[in-house]
Amino acid sequence: MRITVVCVGKQKDRAVAELVGGYGKRLPPGLRLEWIEVAAAPGKGSREKAMAQEAARVRERIPARALVMALSERGRKLDSMEFSRRLGRVRDQGRDLCFTIGGADGFDPAFLKAADEVISLSALTFPHELVRAILAEQIYRAFSILKGDPYHRA
């Protein structure tokens, strides 16, 4: 299974990048996790135009035939067990998965509507760089749960 994460903006904090990379290295063999960064829209212009430009850049990098899970604060809230079961179903269907992380203003509404699923990692708002770390940890946790590993203690 291949999991791709397409993110708007650059990962600048080395400590966060190391944390994200550490979770990626702990994933089960055969599971590939790839991070793709696309440029954020320039600061000038309307918010709507910026979100549409960023969505177009993200759309271009989504792998063909991958199930798309867009991250949004207004998305469906899943607990770790539900998230794990969802990833397990995608894996068992033989599909690849693509998570998308929008820019500072979020995603264009049309992009969210076109996604296969829109999920929220929390009702809290996090800096985009930390969202990467939280997502990486939750992906690792999900596959630990599926494997029956004691990492997840609920």
Task: State the Cα–Cα distance between residues 91 and 78, nearest whole angstrom.
Answer: 18
Cβ(33)–Cβ(5) under 8 Å?
A: yes
Sequence letter at residue 20? V
pLDDT tens figures, 12-55: 899 999 999 999 999 999 899 999 999 999 877 788 999 999 99
Locate the domains of the chain by residue range: 2-147
pLDDT tens figures, 76-97: 999 999 999 999 999 999 999 9
Looking at residue 44, what is its pLDDT?
Answer: 77
pLDDT tens figures, 82-139: 999 999 999 999 999 999 999 988 899 999 999 999 999 998 888 888 999 999 999 9
Helix axes 128-147, 14-25, angle to 10 degrees: 20
Burial of 92 (0-12, 13-18, 19+ CB in 10 A): exposed
Tell me the CATH class for 2-147. alpha beta
Element (H, E) at 119: strand 117-120
